[in-house]
Amino acid sequence: MRATLIVNPFASAVSEERVRAVERELGAAFEVETVLTERRGHAIELAREAGGDAILVFGGDGVANEVLNGVDGARALGFLPGGGTSVLARALGLPRDPIDAARRLAERRERRISLGRVNGRRFSFSAGIGLDSEAVRRVDAMGRSADGQRPGDAAFVRAVVATVRVNGWKLPDRLEVDGRPAALVVVAKDAVTTYLRSRPLRFCPEARFELGLDYAAVAHPGALTLWRGFVRAYMGRRVAGLPGGFGGHDVDRIEVRCREPLPLQADGEDLGNVEEVVFDCERDAVSVFS
């Protein structure tokens, strides 16, 4: 099987030595052609132009999201964890070590999964408006290190705290989620929304890659409610069970209106400010190696 390997050379777990080791492991099952991304958005172009029978990705969740937005679903995809968190690859059950993950991909075990879309942009594991999107923007504003790496988990925790503090330790209801007021909404395509180091956070624990969209929204939460929400996610309990919380399971469409322009994130990437948002599900969208 011929495969194109799309590599983000600036991702935190990617090095030339690891790329060569990944190529060797993949070589047991694939004839690999490796291409490197050069800028943000480049992986979309590379995925559209890629030859072969499969497309493999070595990088973080940002490059994985770009590849998903550049393919038509005709070829199988594989995701090697090369970022600081690499939620998608880990949620698909692949080892955290990229060389071990390449060895797993070489077994060529496929599964079909659904994808989410937000205003037409695909996402694979989560999207949101409110606390998470504000925190993503704050982390991005911190800049990257000299070697291009994004700040890690500790920076994200600080960004969450800063977002709550600047709002007086209480988040106002600035959204309407399917007509109901809310301060934030998290839309999930899998039970794992993100990781805090090695621990998964499950804001929508019933979500599955093979199903539709799950979502959790909370109205007028204070700092204590938000803290309880993170504890529930850490324990794998439904955030929608909080006071003021609500949600849905395996749905095809969610409509959100913002009372003012607010940040939107998908797969951890800042997609800019929005006022009207449609989340929908693209069922049985792609095959992935896992």
Q: Where are the domains of the chain?
A: 2-108, 121-284
- State the virtual CA torsion across 18, 19, 25, 27 in degrees, nearest 10: -160
By CB neighbour count within 10 A (0-12 exposed, 13-18 middle, 19+ buried), where does 146 fall?
exposed
Angle at 285 between CA 45 and CA 9, to 5 degrees: 35
Q: Is the pLDDT of residue 59 over 80?
A: yes
Q: What pLDDT band is residue 143 in, cutting at 50, 70 and 90?
A: confident
Q: What does the DSSP assignment read for 174-237?
A: -EEETTEEESEEEEESSS--EEETTEEE-SSTT--TTS-EEEEEESS-BHHHHHHHHHHHHHT-
Per-residue pLDDT averaged across 185-213, rounded?
96
| Measured distance CA(87)–CA(77) in Å, rounded | 15
User: So what's the pLDDT on residue 64?
Assistant: 98
Pick the closest to residue 102 from 18, 11, 194 (CA basis). 18
User: So what's the pLDDT on residue 148?
Assistant: 57
Judge whether 79 and 92 are in contact, CB under 8 Å: yes
Q: Does domain 2-108 have CATH number 3.40.50.300?
A: no
Pick the closest to residue 185 from 127, 263, 136 (CA basis). 127
List the CATH code of the domain at 121-284: 2.60.200.40
Please name the helix (run of DSSP H) or strand (run of DSSP E) that holds residue 139, with its range, or none: helix 131-141
The one-letter amino acid code at 252 reads D
Q: Is the pLDDT of residue 145 over 90?
A: no
pLDDT tens-digit readout, 113-124: 999 999 999 999
Per-residue pLDDT averaged across 81-102, rounded?
96
Q: What pLDDT band is residue 149 in, cutting at 50, 70 and 90?
A: low
Strand, helix or coil at 125? Answer: coil
